[in-house]
Structure 1
Amino acid sequence: MARTRYASDRGLTSRMLVTMFLLGLVYVVFVTAFFAIAPSWGVFALIGATVFLLAQYFFSDRMTLFAMHGKEVTPQEAPELHGVIDRICAMSDAPKPRVAIADTDVPNAFATGRNQKKAVVCVTTGLLRRLDPVELEGVLAHEMAHIAHKDVVVMTIASFLGVCAGLITRFGLEWGLWGGFSRRDGDQNTGLVLLAVVAVSAVAYTISFVLTRALSRYRELSADRAAALLTGRPSALAAALTKVSGEIARIPSKDLRAAEPFNAFFFAPAFTKGFSVASLFATHPPLDRRLAQLSKISESLSRGV
């Protein structure tokens, strides 16, 4: 990866490393327990999860753009957007990603791609209509920080255990509901083995899900901090966050439901009205926490710290 001028955060990095270590520990325990219970079943789940994650790794940019109806645009088609990206690249000494626009009124942005050569930054038409150039710069600097920090690779690796355990849990439950829980093969109670497999997989999935969401929240805070320090305008990023979060609340529920599956990619999560989720399972930190961090950065910059 080319080195950039995006600032690192040792505190957040250490928390991310601890989270990755815990995920690895859960993975080792899960694999050991699973193969001790039903070694032959694990091979199929491992192959399925590997194929899925390899596809996500190599084609995440195309898949996400296709799902969000994003279209790559040239400098002639979107000169102002490209101009902002060019300024951020000059400030960060980072290679320029591909630039795309998704035609939706949900104000948001996302970055994807397994490395800087394959990276793409996409903004929605709703975001372009609502933010001024300075606020847009803060949002795009945040998204490009994700690229510089290799967040797509990190989250793909981190989600491997959850995908594997989730597949086993789902197929195990479906098989069990079709009579697998009561099945016996000779002296072996296959139903009990299946039940044990589903239980172990469900526990592993739940723990990995919580840890992966925590990792996602840390990476959002890290991207906020890196963008604020790079641009020197944390207040602009805070204004964009406040504006986007407020505008999302006014978007029709139908449009928000269509966007919710991509919350992990977005600058700010798109939740339908009345949606409530515990912070433990959120992909993004609470708005207050993000604003508080930006406020501290603003104070530090004003004091010249």
Structure 2
Amino acid sequence: MAGSRFIPDRGLTTRMLLTMSLLGIVYVAFIIALILVGMPWWLVALVVIGFALFQYFASDKIAMYSMGAREVSPREAPELHAIVDRLCAMADMPKPKVAVARTDVPNAFATGHNEKNAVVCATTGIMNRLEPVELEAVLAHELSHVAHRDVMVMTIAGFLGIIAGFLTQMGLRFMVFGGASGGRNNNNSPALVALAVVAVSAVVWALSFLLTRMLSRYRELSADRAAAYLTGRPSALGGALTKITGDMGRIPNRDLRRAEPFNAFFFTPAFSKSGFSLSRLFATHPPIQQRLAQLADISRQLGRG
């Protein structure tokens, strides 16, 4: 039967520690490589440390702003707050901030670098489509991310890829717009440094991308398990998954494209209906069939749906 707390997940803890350790090694190697290829140390410090601090402390605000979400009071969203209050009491955890994003994309997400700054957000699209018991299951899934601290880990892990991607773009632009000038002055050193920075950054971006994607897929399965055991209603979470996935095809492409960059933090990914997407190739979430099969197993264990 469901317990009064989110079930611990040693597999998730191990994967988070391993991912952070590997990313730490890559991070240090990245800094050393940038200096060795000729990038000034003060510029490395400015970009790397500056981005790190900004990403860590502003991640919740960036996510909220990008999704058009805002914090709501119990008076503004009494039913949503009541669900979160009940789940936090069941899980014996501090209540995070509660927010609503006014978009028809049916989804929910959790963000924040610690429990004090944590935010759980539901879109108007998901609130309009799900039954209260299904919405409760989805919010339990999101709260488990906060309780297991994998939101914080994903926030920290993600900034390395952002830095590498930024430096790759800057290096490519320098080579395109500054290469010709360097060639006329018979001084290709800046262009060679830019090329080396691009090469190093591209490798680091690829490594961080793969490591965070592997962790992301596992943490979603872990959150499904925790939510199912906490609420004792795995079928409610399965029903929410089925409904949301089915309704994604009815959402305008422009809304889905705007939501896609945040797939790693969503309850279920938002994909536009046309065009190639790396999110399909390197998924942030496990296949829905795998998630539903896991919930069916839990339902059999509990002896009810």
Q: Give the structure-1-normalised TM-score.
A: 0.88
Q: CA offset at residue 11 of structure 1?
A: 2.5
Q: CA offset at residue 24 of structure 1?
A: 2.4
Aligned to 2:288: 287
Q: How does 1:53-64 map to 2 (within 5 A)?
A: 53-64=52-63
- Give the Cα separation in 2 of the matches to 1:62 and 1:29: 30
Amino acid at match of 1:237: L
How many percent identity over aligned positions?
60
- Give the Cα separation in 2 of the matches to 1:27 and 1:77: 43
Q: How does 1:18-57 map to 2 (within 5 A)?
A: 18-40=18-40, 42-57=41-56
Aligned to 2:94: 95
Aligned to 2:303: 302
Cα RMSD for the two superposed structures: 2.4
Return closer, same or farther for 1:207/1:181 CA change in 2, 3 Å cut-off. farther
Return closer, same or farther for 1:274/1:48 CA change in 2, 3 Å cut-off. same
- Give the Cα separation in 1 of the matches to 2:103 and 2:162: 29
1:217-249 residue CA offsets vs partner (Å, 9 max, x unmatched) = 222222111111111111111111111111111
Q: How many aligned positions are there?
A: 299
- Give the Cα separation in 1 of the matches to 2:119 and 2:13: 24
Q: CA offset at residue 25 of structure 1?
A: 2.8
**Are the equivalent residues in 1 in contact too, given 2:88–2:94 (CA < 8 A)?**
yes
Q: CA offset at residue 112 of structure 1?
A: 1.5
**Are the equivalent residues in 2 in contact too, given 1:182–1:190 (CA < 8 A)?**
no
Q: How does 1:12-161 map to 2 (within 5 A)?
A: 12-40=12-40, 42-161=41-160
Q: CA offset at residue 143 of structure 1?
A: 0.8
Aligned to 2:261: 261
Q: CA offset at residue 174 of structure 1?
A: 0.8
Q: CA offset at residue 125 of structure 1?
A: 1.2
Q: How does 1:96-245 map to 2 (within 5 A)?
A: 96-180=95-179, 183=182, 189-245=189-245
Return closer, same or farther for 1:201/1:89 CA change in 2, 3 Å cut-off. same
Q: CA offset at residue 275 of structure 1?
A: 4.7
**Are the equivalent residues in 2 in contact too, given 1:37–1:196 (CA < 8 A)?**
yes
Q: Unpaired segments of 5 or more residues in structure 2? A: none
Out of 232-241 and 213-222, give the one that drifted further. 213-222
**Are the equivalent residues in 2 in contact too, given 1:181–1:194 (CA < 8 A)?**
no
Q: How does 1:6-17 map to 2 (within 5 A)?
A: 6-17=6-17
Q: Unpaired segments of 5 or more residues in structure 1? A: none
Out of 267-276 and 225-234, give the one that drifted further. 267-276
Return closer, same or farther for 1:164/1:56 CA change in 2, 3 Å cut-off. closer
Q: CA offset at residue 138 of structure 1?
A: 0.6
- Give the Cα separation in 2 of the matches to 1:43 and 1:249: 48
Return closer, same or farther for 1:277/1:261 CA change in 2, 3 Å cut-off. closer
Amino acid at match of 2:199: A
Q: Secondary structure at the match of 2:115?
A: coil
- Give the Cα separation in 2 of the matches to 1:25 and 1:94: 33
Q: Give the structure-2-normalised TM-score.
A: 0.88
Q: CA offset at residue 290 of structure 1?
A: 1.6
Return closer, same or farther for 1:82/1:194 CA change in 2, 3 Å cut-off. closer
Q: Secondary structure at the match of 1:166?
A: helix
Out of 122-131 and 211-220, give the one that drifted further. 211-220
Q: CA offset at residue 289 of structure 1?
A: 1.9
- Give the Cα separation in 1 of the matches to 2:44 and 2:121: 33
1:105-160 residue CA offsets vs partner (Å, 9 max, x unmatched) = 11111111222222221111111111111111110001111111223321122123
- Give the Cα separation in 2 of the matches to 1:165 and 1:57: 16
Out of 22-31 and 229-238, give the one that drifted further. 22-31
Return closer, same or farther for 1:48/1:31 CA change in 2, 3 Å cut-off. closer
